[in-house]
Copies of this chain bind each other. A is one copy, B any other.
């Protein structure tokens, strides 16, 4: 039977509340209130808090694909794809993503939920390795390259939610890639 409040509305409420409060601090009561349903109904429909988060994350990342399957000869273009993806992700879902990343370390519950989105990083690694082999990037562990590329972006999104002195302007992905490449082309001039 159809529910009065559709699942997707509840999922959005979950992610919003968690973005604001963190997973541990966000109570099922406040989630239910934000979703506009009763707390008991929440458990009847989604069984547990962990399962609720899992379904919310899954349903939310379904429409958020990274188109990276065939890395080409253009480093800048491929890196721009990656940076664009994360810029969009942090702009729309930055609160949840960073919150969950942090809490995953302490909470096996949260960590279990994040395995699916994490598989994405594997594909990013492959693109970076591809361009390292082509001689277009400094050879180093691909995660290092990734953090040097996306680090400035992530830190700004991260800080935007903590530090009110930080400007709210979103980063320009093309500038990020250009500046990154100026520092990470191999055999650069001293």
Query: Could you tell me which A residues sit within 8 Å of B by CB distance?
Result: 20-22, 24-25, 98-99, 101-107, 118, 121, 141, 143-144, 147-148, 150-156, 159, 161-163, 165-167, 169, 171, 178-184, 188
Q: Assess the B183–A178 pair: CB atoms within 8 A.
A: yes
Q: Assess the A143–B162 pair: CB atoms within 8 A.
A: no
Number of copies: 2
Q: Assess the B162–A105 pair: CB atoms within 8 A.
A: yes
Q: Which 3 A-B pairs have the closest CB atoms?
A: A179-B183, A151-B151, A151-B155
8 residue pairs A–B, Cβ–Cβ below 8 Å: A21-B106, A22-B103, A24-B25, A25-B107, A147-B156, A151-B156, A152-B152, A181-B183
Q: How far is the CB of A71 from chain B (nearest CB, A)?
A: 20
The one of B106, B144, B165, B179 in contact with A22, judged by C-beta atoms closer than 8 angstroms, is B106
Q: List the B residue with the shortest CB-CB distance to A183.
A: B179
- Chain B residues with Cβ below 8 Å from A152 are 144, 147-148, 151-152
Q: Assess the A163–B183 pair: CB atoms within 8 A.
A: no
Q: Assess the B156–A155 pair: CB atoms within 8 A.
A: no
Q: List the B residue with the shortest CB-CB distance to A95.
A: B105
Q: How far is the CB of A167 from chain B (nearest CB, A)?
A: 4
Complex Cα–Cα for A104 and B163 (A)? 10
- Chain B residues with Cβ below 8 Å from A143 are 156, 159, 163, 165-167
The one of B105, B154, B161 in contact with A105, judged by C-beta atoms closer than 8 angstroms, is B161
Q: How far is the CB of A63 from chain B (nearest CB, A)?
A: 25
Q: Assess the B106–A25 pair: CB atoms within 8 A.
A: yes
Q: Assess the A162–B25 pair: CB atoms within 8 A.
A: no
Q: List the B residue with the shortest CB-CB distance to A107.
A: B25
